[in-house]
Amino acid sequence: MTQSPRPKVEIYTKWGCPYCVRAKALLDEKGVAYEEYDVTMGGPKRAEMVERAPGAATVPQIFVNDQALGGSDDLQALDRAGKLDALLGLA
C-alpha cells in the first residue's frame, strides 16, 4: 500500500505573534512540514496573503493545498473536532 503524499502546508506569520507560535507548535507536534512566510515588515508576501485570503487582516493565516483554513483558532478547532489530521494527510 502506498502512502499518499502529504499536502502542501503554508503559514503566514509575524515575529513575536503568540497565535503564530501556537499554530506552528500544533503543526510541529503532528510532525507536519510547512513553509513559513514572515510578513512582519509587510511587503509582497503580506500582499500575497491578503490576496489569497480576502478579508484576512490577522496572522497566522494557514493554507493547506492552497485552501485557506484561517488562523490559529480555526486550526485548533479543526483539531478538537477531529478533522485536522485528515486535512494534513495524517489520518
Residue 28, SS3 per DSSP = helix
The cell 500575497 sits on which residue? 48
Split into its structural domains, the chain has a count of: 1
Tell me, yes or no, whether 30 lies in a domain.
yes
CATH code of the domain covering residue 16: 3.40.30.10
Helix (H) or strand (E) holding 78: helix 72-80
Tell me, yes or no, whether 3 lies in a domain.
no
Does the pLDDT value for residue 4 go beyond 70? no
pLDDT at 57: 85
DSSP summary character for residue 30 = T
The cell 506569520 sits on which residue? 13
Tell me, yes or no, whether 1 lies in a domain.
no
CA-based radius of gyration for the chain: 13
Tell me, yes or no, whether 2 lies in a domain.
no
Does the pLDDT value for residue 2 go beyond 60? no
Mean pLDDT of the chain: 93
| Interval 34-48 mean pLDDT | 95
Does the pLDDT value for residue 3 go beyond 80? no
Tell me, yes or no, whether 4 lies in a domain.
no
CA distance 66 to 17: 23
Structural domain including 20 reads 9-87
